[in-house]
Amino acid sequence: MTGGAIKLDMYLAPPSEAAFAVLGERIKAVLEENGVDLDGAFAAGFAAGHVCGITFATAPEGRYRYLATMVADSPELPAGYYDSLLITSARGGLSSPADFDPARHRAVINEPRSFSGNLTFAAHMQAAHGISLGDVMRSGAHLTSIAMVASGEADLAAIDRISFSLARHAVPQDVDGVSIIGRTASHPGIAFVADAGLPDPVVRKLRATIMEFRDEPAWVELQTILGVTDITVLDPQNYAPMASVAA
């Protein structure tokens, strides 16, 4: 659900649309019950929703109020954190990220400003292997990147763990065509946020509504689709180090 006062456009694909629509309706009800003009102007660009962690980390003061973060289903990760999985073709792909040669291979990113699909990908390859991604291809979306790697059009991509779980349900044939050969460092996941101009009581109610969403049947569905186990509240300062990756 996206548009207007509510922005829930991340991890959105046909398998997840119904569950996010339920959450969107719950958020909308809180805003309407508290007299928030859904057609008004918001410094955040919306009243409530979610944004990439890097967007939150680099936002100017006075744009967002942090609400909560989903918890990826992985014992390797701190609660509320995620990482990106490095994938190659399952048919004759790379054996290791260290084998990537920008003179012979092509990496694909979803968007230049994407944290999980480009920024932390490039930082990991340089720090762990001393390798530049070189002349990358741009797919526009994580699911498209998976398809390009599965088909052999690209040799390497970084897909955030939650998007990869979504892909298992949205494009299982493409997931079957790739192999995971590495992972990046972990960072705080996408952040549920509210516009900073909303009154404190409304912000508290929005956070409570997101946490109460865990009691909805739609949350059980979303857990399976996105590979998440919970929703937690992090210290917003945990996001700050992400800005240095993008520097």
Q: Which tens digit of pLDDT belongs to each residue from 205-244?
A: 999 999 999 999 999 999 999 999 999 999 999 999 999 9
Over residues 61-77, the pLDDT tens digits come to: 999 999 999 999 999 99
| Mean of per-residue pLDDT scores for the chain | 96
For residues 105 and 110, give the distance between their C-alpha atoms in angstroms, rounded to a whole number. 17
- Residue 63's closest CA among 38, 41, 30? 41
Query: Is the per-residue pLDDT at 1 higher than 70?
Result: no
Band (pLDDT 50/70/90 cuts) for residue 4 is: confident
- Residue 218's closest CA among 16, 19, 9, 14? 19
For residues 116 and 86, give the distance between their C-alpha atoms in angstroms, rounded to a whole number. 10
Express as a percent the part of the chain with pLDDT over 90: 98
Express as a percent the part of the chain with pLDDT over 70: 98
pTM: 0.94
Give a three-class secondary structure readout of 74-121: CCCCCCCEECEEEEEECCCCCCCHHHCCCCCCCEEECCCCCHHHHHHH
The stretch 130-156 carries a mean pLDDT of 97
Interacting residues of 79 by C-beta distance below 8 A, sequence separation 6+: 71, 230, 232
Over residues 165-212, the pLDDT tens digits come to: 999 999 999 999 999 999 999 999 999 999 999 999 999 999 999 999
Q: Could you tell me the two tokens for 93? A: 């792909």
The stretch 77-97 carries a mean pLDDT of 97
Query: Is the per-residue pLDDT at 99 higher than 80?
Result: yes
For residues 106 and 156, give the distance between their C-alpha atoms in angstroms, rounded to a whole number. 7
Q: Could you tell me the two tokens for 233? A: 């509240």
